[in-house]
Amino acid sequence: MSKLSGKVQTVLGLVDPDQLGRTMTHEHLTMSFECCYFPPSPGDEAVAENPFQMQHMYWLRQNQYSCHENLLLHQEVGAVREELLAYRKAGGGAIVENTTTGIERDMPTLKQLAKDTGVHIIAGAGYYVDCTHSETTRKTSVEKLTDIIISEVLHGADGTDIRCGVIGEIGTGWPITDSEKKVLKATAHAQAQLGCPVIIHPGRDPAAPAEVVRILQEAGGDIRKTVMSHLDRTIFDNGELLEFAKLGSYLEYDLFGVEMLNYSYNLSVDMPSDSQRVQALAFLVKEGYEDRIVIAHDIHTKNRLTKFGGHGYSHILKNIVPKMLRRGISQHQVDKILIDNPKEWLTFK
């Protein structure tokens, strides 16, 4: 049995799973999303150059990916520190920081934030989507990628001795590219050796989550210990959702706070509102999946911080939990979603 077994690995070291408390399973505290810049519509260029003004706030909320500066979350460490202190005050205990190689993971800053705020921070190992893979990553074998991921968990990431406690978010698009398939296989191999949690960013197609599960399973991954992220922008039909749920992964609704008319990355998608997200949770609970649901905000742009008029990391605790209770999800079920399920997932086998 490894020394990780039965523990959760935070950036400050191993902790007893009961110490975590309420946990957001998919956030970012410092990262760059420049890789996914989406040019503004003709005529909007001037606003996009100077978006952080009251009269531009609605535009920014609707076009968060069309402004370079908005994508540089790593410039806001001070604001994030304040937010984490507020998150603790609101009853939060832990945050899974999903920034992987390709979107500027910053392990020393995560460690400092954990020290400064008392929030348990669990960092992610592995690689983001194909367009962020370096030439070296593309040429690296599955075996070598597996070794790198394992080393990020056992010894530390990015030349530090600060260790990751989860693999992911592992980025995939649609269709899944060869390089992404290689990373998925390495993820499954590493998970089989470490008994660790995994979290996946699927492509924007209803078939994408199940295809990822198939690849992981074939490579020996543990689907019961895997979170499928971003279901709110990926599977819209309740029948398809139940079909996917049967495969056994954790089901993550992680875009709480995002309400937009046009989803730049897939205009055929109608991004749900927070009310619709709560309806999806209530549906899954009614269908017996209360042990498999996890939730978060996936904050990855500046405009979503309270400093810039956004909802911040405490939105779920302050606003969504009361709404869940009003829509028939019991306090016991809320606690499962926020405390017990993340704890089970994050504990090494």
Ligand X SMILES: CC(=O)NCCS(=O)(=O)O
Asked if 196 and 348 touch (Cβ cutoff 8 Å), the reply is: yes
Name the residue nearer to ligand X (CB basis): 189 or 297.
297
Least gap, CB of 207 to ligand X (angstroms): 16
Helix axes 107-117, 77-89, angle to 10 degrees: 40
* Residue showing tokens 């269709």: 175
Least gap, CB of 230 to ligand X (angstroms): 4
Contacts (CB under 6 A) with ligand X, residues 22-81 = 33
Compute CA 292 distance to the chain's CA centroid, rounded to the nearest angstrom. 16
Q: Of 185, 225, 300, 315, which lies in the binding site for ligand X, with binding defined by CB under 6 A?
A: 300
Name the residue nearer to ligand X (CB basis): 265 or 283.
265
- 259 marked as binding residue: no
Name the residue nearer to ligand X (CB basis): 130 or 290.
130
Task: Decide if residue 298 touches ligand X (CB under 6 A).
Answer: yes
DSSP secondary structure code for residue 101 in this structure: B
Q: Is the peptide bond before 272 cis (omega within 30 degrees of 0)?
A: no
Asked if 187 and 168 touch (Cβ cutoff 8 Å), the reply is: yes
- 28 marked as binding residue: yes
CB-nearest residue to ligand X: 300
Least gap, CB of 53 to ligand X (angstroms): 25
Least gap, CB of 171 to ligand X (angstroms): 7
Name the residue nearer to ligand X (CB basis): 17 or 312.
312
Least gap, CB of 259 to ligand X (angstroms): 13
Name the residue nearer to ligand X (CB basis): 207 or 325.
207
d(CA 3, CA 222): 20
Name the residue nearer to ligand X (CB basis): 94 or 296.
296
Asked if 298 and 229 touch (Cβ cutoff 8 Å), the reply is: yes
Contacts (CB under 6 A) with ligand X, residues 252-281 = 255, 265
- 155 marked as binding residue: no
Q: Of 230, 302, 311, 315, which lies in the binding site for ligand X, with binding defined by CB under 6 A?
A: 230
Helices (H), 32-141: 45-49, 57-62, 77-89, 107-117, 135-139
Name the residue nearer to ligand X (CB basis): 27 or 152.
27
Compute CA 204 distance to the chain's CA centroid, rounded to the nearest angstrom. 15
Q: Of 22, 133, 181, 233, which lies in the binding site for ligand X, with binding defined by CB under 6 A?
A: 233
Q: Among 247, 207, 208, 205, which residue's Cα sits nearest to residue 226?
A: 247
- 120 marked as binding residue: no
d(CA 83, CA 133): 31
Helices (H), the chain: 45-49, 57-62, 77-89, 107-117, 135-139, 142-154, 178-194, 208-218, 238-245, 274-286, 315, 321-326, 331-335, 341-346
Task: Decide if residue 180 touches ligand X (CB under 6 A).
Answer: no
Least gap, CB of 89 to ligand X (angstroms): 26
Q: Of 201, 302, 304, 336, which lies in the binding site for ligand X, with binding defined by CB under 6 A?
A: 201
* Residue showing tokens 């309740």: 238
Least gap, CB of 328 to ligand X (angstroms): 27
**Residue 329 in tokens:** 């999800």
The annotated binding site for a divalent metal cation is made up of 26, 28, 169, 201, 230, 298
Binding-site residue positions: 26, 28, 169, 201, 230, 298
Site residues for ligand X per CB under 6 A:
33, 201, 230, 233, 255, 265, 298, 300
